[in-house]
Structure 1
């Protein structure tokens, strides 16, 4: 073989390694961006966290966790409609994501839609029965508000 063929073989091997490793790099990058976003949320940098979490979603669009965290950050920013969209995306990616259902319920509560909030909480309770007691407290609060005329 000549030097040109050797370079061609090396290039093909490098491209194959790059293609095989891309999925792993994407997931790792998304995890790092999620961690950065969570760190920023802890110190109150909500806007910067949203940027990181949007990037995590862009890097790994199949990450239910990234969508859930983005929904939570948007909820903190009181962007309820956008938060609901992110939680819906998370649930579409993972139908058993109790955290996304709980986040969506809170966004619905802030939007004044008690019925949808209650339905999301019931689903979260079905998915994760270990949270039933706390979820039931919130559902009771929603029901009490509805009975007193404060619900929608």
Structure 2
């Protein structure tokens, strides 16, 4: 049975789906504190947190569920080696055609097109038509694109 945790830290409060605990501020230290959801319920020392402040910081670090899901989608799209190669190629080349990406990666035009369609559906790349040729580039200006750029910067290049 999922309950909601109310995290109150740094003047922010937000409800998160969590086990039956709630977070609040400790009056003594001002740090985040996890409190039982049901008052008077006894917990063994094993069922409570070892470090309440660390749990409160972890809940705050996990953040909003929607942001977490968006980040997971970006990471899953980047995790496939072929798509990662395409993204790295686009990062280096800027706007580039499917056939040029195919040559650069050693993939077939069909495989490149299918991978680009998934990346485009995920909001990570966009295409612009120049006559009969569509040139693709990495999107900018969205949280997903920002995460993608950070991830790509961590990949060593040859």
Same structural fold, with TM-score higher than 0.5 when normalized by the shorter chain: no
Q: Which has the larger radius of gyration?
A: 2
Q: TM-score, normalised by structure 1?
A: 0.28
